[in-house]
């Protein structure tokens, strides 16, 4: 019995899950170029197979790597390929309990932060009538007097070191 648990524990190891995640990432990023120890470059979809070959080269068992690749391929097919086929649909659905626990709460669309909570001060691009912006018609209240050369009355066209 303990031998069966040892084998089962080996196949449910983190290495198989890591290979599965690498496989899914590699399939979702087909145009990324990878470099393996500076020896050769290859497209990302070949990364799990390169790691499998490296594992074999080191004399390790490839059964766990093959299991991770198989599970990753199964997940990739069910999540990314099959739903996009004619007549396809999404077979894997996130349980509602996980959505409730993990999804962020919806923001209130009517929430208006206080001026001290807004980064940057002026609320560009929004209707600023309430904030005393240009929509309120007081744009000239904020403009300083200009002389004939277009310089501010206070600086008379001279540069200042503040």
Tell me the per-residue pLDDT of 2-53, one tens digit each, with 9 for 90 and over.
454 455 555 567 888 999 999 999 999 999 999 988 888 999 999 999 999 9
In a domain, 92, yes or no: yes
Q: Which pLDDT score is estimated for 105? A: 74
Query: pLDDT tier at 127 (50, 70, 90 boundaries)?
Result: low
In a domain, 152, yes or no: no
Domain count, the chain: 1
100 burial type by CB count under 10 A (0-12 exposed, 13-18 middle, 19+ buried)? exposed
| CA 156 – CA 150 distance, rounded (Å) | 9
In a domain, 149, yes or no: no
Q: Which domain holds residue 34?
A: 2-102
In a domain, 27, yes or no: yes
In a domain, 91, yes or no: yes
- The answer for residues whose C-beta is within 8 angstroms of residue 39's C-beta and 6 or more apart is none
In a domain, 28, yes or no: yes
Q: Tokens 């007097």 — which residue?
A: 145
Q: Which pLDDT score is estimated for 102? A: 87
- The answer for residues whose C-beta is within 8 angstroms of residue 135's C-beta and 6 or more apart is 127, 128, 129
This prediction has a pTM of 0.56
Q: Which pLDDT score is estimated for 156? A: 52
In a domain, 97, yes or no: yes
Q: Which pLDDT score is estimated for 53? A: 94
In a domain, 32, yes or no: yes
């Amino acid at each position: 019995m303990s031998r069966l648990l040892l084998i089962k524990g080996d196949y449910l190891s983190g290495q198989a899950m890591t290979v599965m995640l690498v496989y899914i990432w590699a399939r979702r990023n087909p145009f990324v170029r990878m470099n393996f120890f500076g020896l050769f470059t290859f497209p990302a979809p070949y990364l799990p197979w390169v790691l499998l070959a490296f594992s074999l080269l080191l004399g390790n068992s490839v059964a766990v790597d093959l299991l991770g690749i198989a599970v990753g391929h199964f997940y990739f097919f069910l999540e990314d390929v099959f739903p996009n086929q004619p007549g396809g649909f999404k077979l894997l659905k996130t349980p509602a309990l996980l959505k409730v626990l993990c999804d962020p709460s919806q923001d209130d669309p009517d929430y208006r932060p206080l001026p001290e909570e807004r980064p940057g001060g002026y609320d560009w691009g929004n209707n600023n009538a309430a904030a005393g912006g240009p929509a309120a018609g007081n744009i000239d209240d904020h403009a300083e007097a200009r002389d004939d050369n277009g310089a501010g009355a206070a600086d008379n066209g001279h540069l200042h070191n503040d």
